[in-house]
Chains A and B, each alone.
Chain A
Amino acid sequence: MINQSNKTLNTNITKLVNQPYKYGFSTAIERDIIEKGLNPDIIRLISQKKQEPAFMLTFRLKAYQKWIQMSSPKWAQLKFSEINYQDIIYYSAPKIKKKLNSLDEVDAELLQTFEKLGISLSEQKRLTNVAVDAVFDSVSIGTTFKEELAEEGIIFCSMSEAVLEYPELVEKYLGTVVPIGDNYYSALNSAVFTDGSFCYIPKNVICPLDLSTYFRINDQQSGQFERTLIIADENSTVSYLEGCTAPQYDNNQLHAAVVELIAFEDAYIKYSTVQNWYAGNEIGEGGIYNFVTKRGLCAGNNSKISWTQVETGSSITWKYPSCLLVGDNSKGEFYSVALTNNYQQADTGTKMIHVGKKSRSRIVSKGISAGQSKNTYRGLVNITTKAVGARNYSQCDSLLIGNLSNANTFPIISVQNSTSKVEHEASTSKIGEEQIFYFLQRGISIEKAIELMISGFCREVFTELPLEFAAEADRLLSLKLEGSVG
């Protein structure tokens, strides 16, 4: 009867885990879309629609030429059928009736969509301490607090706008951290990206608000190709948050993003993500394929880049936010919680490339696998000959829920000098029947039990999240795993 008891446990957990996806609705809106498929003409059309300067078109076409010569990487622990890139719509935007003067003039339908997602863009109801850029399919709908930020010299706008308004900054930095031919998906993104956010923090400025972008996929057949570039000039500080959701469709959709961060001397960029793309249904149909290249360059001495991610959605996650630690004493951090359930697959981790003297990095990765999902940590710590006195600490913990889920850890460590210090710790634990029974026997409900164990497991990562997000992340994991928790 061990099978039966496993069944009892699995059904109990399944009940908890299979909370319906709250953001699965779609918005009926008139769209400006182009035909399916990818070729140089489509790229010219996208560039033309966005009225881009010539350098952008050159950039895109160059990327396209690289991309067609590449093939998709096969090394990840992911199984999915080949993506037909000719069957994707590469540009889909809500039709805009006239030029907007303020966010309050944005189509009511769109504002409502974001309201429903908990993101208010209107003047009256917007968050007071977070500036938001809202991206809907291929375009940015609007950005809050733009004027207020401009007073500090901070540029925070959509990437499309940056290409038009600040072409010299974009041309100088775009593709410098993630070169167009870096990998298959970044090449694709460089060819067809449509929108994302652009931030520039000038010297000696501490950004007074958290900057945030909310990505929403709405169209059933379009892919989303987000491009974000954040530049923190000398001695500046910025905290950036990213959130994402998508409707519940039964086909798979592609999200291939590139995010580049550059931190100059003494600058600090904190980048946090709560990823909640639609993950597919309980038998693994539908959901977002999330292929993302995120990389930060600690260019200056004493610069610091910190990635925090809570990955709960997507049918497939392929994502390795990384740090190139070039400056002396520079510091890179990666804090991650990746939760997979049902048939979700996540292959995620980080790369810390140490070049600068006494550069330091810290990796804390927490993988939670439930259902029949597969959760893989893949990491590289590379300490080059120049990185004298570099230090790394890595901790990779896996938590299995039930008996059918799967966790892997692939840490690669390469140290090329004798003055560096590298530490790696790993653990695997399981929320099993006996632990749950222990809670139950003490009168504690299964929901509370799982909540307590999960939040204990994730604590080190959650404390890294900005306040607004920590609550969101807790709520999200609660929704995904723990049933109704206040």
Chain B
Amino acid sequence: MNKTPILEIKELKACINQNEILKNLNLKVHKGEIHAIMGPNGSGKSTFSKVLAGHPAYNVTAGQILFKGLNILDLDPEDRSHLGIFLAFQYPIEIPGVSNEDFLRLAYNAKQKAKNEPEVDPLQFLIIINEKLKLVDMSSTFLSRNVNEGFSGGEKKRNEILQMILLDSDLSILDETDSGLDIDALKIISNGINTFMNENKAIILITHYQRLLDYIKPDFVHVMQNGKIIKTGSADLAQELELKGYEWLK
């Protein structure tokens, strides 16, 4: 394919507290593709997702991240978000005192503003959000609760997927969205993701287990170890990993 990839990562190195976590990472993602990144604990998967989103705790020491052909390393997290990068957090944080509805509306309107499109008022927003709620099987009572406060593990993850759908992001990185979910919640979330996905979007799934990939078919599976991608294959690679474990690759 000759198209510009939506995401191109070249020889990326990043550290936190002077510890180098990402060591020469390379990755290309095109529109319409789902990539799964698998790997043992501590291999740098979550760091990768944070670096992509621009978390200030991580320091990029070498390499490039090109998003839609644009080097985004100097962009603030909110600008990256406005460009279409979304990160579904592994541990979504609780925000006391702020209702989910206000939070979601603010995020939606920030995006509208960045696109030079009109912001919506609370009533218009309710119509929009109620449509999206159905996609992740959530009731509207959920809007009046504070962001992630007192949410069960499954509700927190559904809330992340809801936000992804609402913000209609071009590149979504889902960091262990499947962890801590029971089988019903996993089905609901997978359905949401599959409905959302189309040829103009790209998704990177970070996961430990093959389980999620039974519901969402990846185009590529990468194995990450010690801060770089050591093997890339098709969906079959995930099944092989499930059988043989990560040790097999060493």
Asked if A and B bind, the verdict is yes
Smallest CB gap from B58: residue in A: A1
B15 touches A444 (CB 8 A): no
Smallest CB gap from A2: residue in B: B17
The A-contacting residues of B in range 200-221, CB under 8 angstroms, are: none
What residues of A have a CB within 8 angstroms of the CB of B96 in the complex?
A: 429, 453, 456-457
A452 touches B59 (CB 8 A): no
A453 to B76, CA, bound (A): 21
The B-contacting residues of A in range 448-486, CB under 8 angstroms, are: 448, 452-453, 455-457, 459
Smallest CB gap from A442: residue in B: B107
Is B78 part of the binding interface, using a Cβ–Cβ cutoff of 8 Å? Answer: yes
The B-contacting residues of A in range 107-136, CB under 8 angstroms, are: none
What residues of A have a CB within 8 angstroms of the CB of B99 in the complex?
A: 456
User: Given A1-B15, A1-B17, A438-B93, A443–B56 Cβ distance below 8 Å?
Assistant: no
Decide if the interface of chain A is mainly helix, strand, loop or mixed: helix
A214 to B77, CA, bound (A): 43
What residues of B have a CB within 8 angstroms of the CB of A210 in the complex?
A: none
What residues of B have a CB within 8 angstroms of the CB of A9 in the complex?
A: 56
A172 to B103, CA, bound (A): 55
Is B53 part of the binding interface, using a Cβ–Cβ cutoff of 8 Å? Answer: yes
A160 to B110, CA, bound (A): 54
A457 touches B57 (CB 8 A): no
Mark each residue of chain B from 86 to 127: 1 if its CB lies under 8 Å from any CB of chain A, else 0. 110100110111110011001100110010000000000000
What residues of B have a CB within 8 angstroms of the CB of A84 in the complex?
A: none
User: Given A1-B57, A445-B110, A456-B98, A440–B93 Cβ distance below 8 Å?
Assistant: no
Total contacting residues, chain B, CB less than 8 A: 36
What residues of A have a CB within 8 angstroms of the CB of B110 in the complex?
A: 442-445, 448
What residues of B have a CB within 8 angstroms of the CB of A1 in the complex?
A: 15-18, 57-59
Decide if the interface of chain B is mainly helix, strand, loop or mixed: mixed
Is B68 part of the binding interface, using a Cβ–Cβ cutoff of 8 Å? Answer: no
Is B163 part of the binding interface, using a Cβ–Cβ cutoff of 8 Å? Answer: yes
Smallest CB gap from A454: residue in B: B97
Smallest CB gap from B102: residue in A: A452
What residues of A have a CB within 8 angstroms of the CB of B17 in the complex?
A: 1-2
A452 touches B103 (CB 8 A): yes
B59 touches A440 (CB 8 A): no
The B-contacting residues of A in range 431-448, CB under 8 angstroms, are: 433-435, 437-445, 448
A445 touches B98 (CB 8 A): no
Is A8 part of the binding interface, using a Cβ–Cβ cutoff of 8 Å? Answer: yes
B16 touches A2 (CB 8 A): yes
A443 touches B76 (CB 8 A): no
What residues of B have a CB within 8 angstroms of the CB of A5 in the complex?
A: 56-57
A443 touches B57 (CB 8 A): no
A435 to B107, CA, bound (A): 14
Is A4 part of the binding interface, using a Cβ–Cβ cutoff of 8 Å? Answer: yes
Mark each residue of chain B from 24 to 39: 1 if its CB lies under 8 Å from any CB of chain A, else 0. 0000000000000000
User: Given A1-B15, A453-B98, A445–B78 Cβ distance below 8 Å?
Assistant: yes
4 closest cross-chain pairs (CB), A and B: A456-B97, A5-B57, A443-B81, A440-B77
Q: List 16 A-B contacts (CB under 8 A).
A: A1-B18, A1-B58, A4-B59, A429-B96, A438-B89, A438-B95, A439-B103, A440-B54, A441-B54, A441-B87, A443-B107, A443-B110, A444-B110, A445-B110, A448-B106, A459-B97
Interface residues, chain B, with chain A CB atoms under 8 Å away: 15-18, 53-59, 76-78, 81-82, 86-87, 89, 92-93, 95-99, 102-103, 106-107, 110-111, 114, 146, 163, 167
Interface residues, chain A, with chain B CB atoms under 8 Å away: 1-2, 4-5, 8-9, 429, 433-435, 437-445, 448, 452-453, 455-457, 459
